[in-house]
Structure 1
Amino acid sequence: MCLLVEAGETRYALEATSVMEVALPGSDGTSLRGMLEVKDLSVLLGGAPEKGQGMVVVLDVSPTLAVRVRSVVEVADVAHAPFFLLPAGLGEALVPLSRGAVLHKGRLYLELIAESLPQRGVPKPSAGTPRPVHLMESAPERALVFESQGRLFGLPLSLVSQVVTQGEAFSRLPVQRGAVAGVFPHAQVLWPIFSVPAMLGGTAGVEAFFVLTEMAGQNVGLCATRVLGVLPRFEPTDVPGEFRAPGLTGPVLFLDLQHMFS
């Protein structure tokens, strides 16, 4: 049995045996019955503070930890629900705190290990080393063209597995860092979802579609505002990595993602 909660922009599952109490916070939101300090779970995990009053979950750890969550969803038996291991590259701070993720009623919940939750919060993640940007020197014969954050990008058709809509199963991560926008369960695998503009120095934003690909043997999803389809006959422009195709109003940027993820 697990207690399913929402904190920040992420959903979590906590073993019911680790939960001592669920209650409303005190009037000032900082303590429970004036005795136990209440800490914001979203902040502890590196996210933004909760805006509302929320609920308090008291955890049976040493020392006792009371955390505020945005909402309590339900207590559920998830023993037979689909379980996913976390993919690599999501950040070192999350690995010791989560066993993986469980899919319940079409929504993904990160399983938290109560005993591993930090009393003072996770260390602030380092910026890390961004992936070196590599551009394709020539366009493939046929490519899938998609738009992300107002810019057109192209992918060799051989790399594309499927295009799916975001849906409720998608989960953001507690700490937004680098180019990872979140995780998405599909075909019995948890896919890391990346933002291509963020690979170029922008911000990772979640968009309506995910282009699921296989890059250098890895499952990689890419955010897309819209997918324009499969196009042939690309011609290079004067800008490295950019190509034009009939029917498109603007150039298409081709990153050598195979190289970048290898």
Structure 2
Amino acid sequence: MTKFEYQSALITGASSGIGKSFAYLLASKGVNLVLSARSEDKLLQISEELRAEFKINVVCIKTDLSEINASQLIFDQIAKQNISIDLLINNAGIGKWTNFLDESINSYQEMIQLNVNSLVTLTQLFLPQMLQNKKGGIINIASTGALQPCPYIAVYCATKSFVLNFSESLYGEYFDKGITVTAICPGNTQTDFQKTAQANTQGMSFESPDEVAKQSIEALLKRKNNKIIGFNNYLQSFIPRLLSRKIVIKIVKNMMDKKVNG
């Protein structure tokens, strides 16, 4: 088997969904892993399975990235164990489908802390060593919701728009220094996200988390700045480029109003 380009990866939100799929995919390529999530039991179960099947090193870090100091905690624990991370996958995230005023400000602050602040902090903490080694990869999970204004998912999609623009900006800064930063824009994916977000996705198409992870790694290895997952999602991404933003807002508003308010 050809040696995989990266040797050690940190995956946030690794206990389920896309993060778990990343873990199994990278483990199959011989990549040693640091897995982070809130659910310690799930992390320990996954790590035992990965060690047994793929004979790799796996470190589990239980932490909640919606808390302010969590990113530094992860970095410090990895540093204490002298682990060098050359692939960072910022996957953890939460969202809500709701009328803006129906959710508390604390909920929105946690969402911004997790989706934006922790992602930026982890990137800033792990990037210097990648630059020192002149080699590294960063995958940031955004969303197709990042591609246009999204009434009724306002805060979530705004955070993912940040992730997309932040990632592509860093791609521009560091690509010629050996670092690839790739933003991934999945649409609906078969994970627990819909339940947590109280999202009515009836009648909508889905991608599997395994497929999202697979296409994400392929995009990174091809040195892409972004990847929209799913052909239909790719086609829909052209709508905001062809129509005025006001018309796009109205289209999304009408669609989401039915989903959120019935």
TM-score for both structures, normalised by structure 1: 0.26
Q: TM-score, normalised by structure 2?
A: 0.26
* Larger proportion of strand: 1
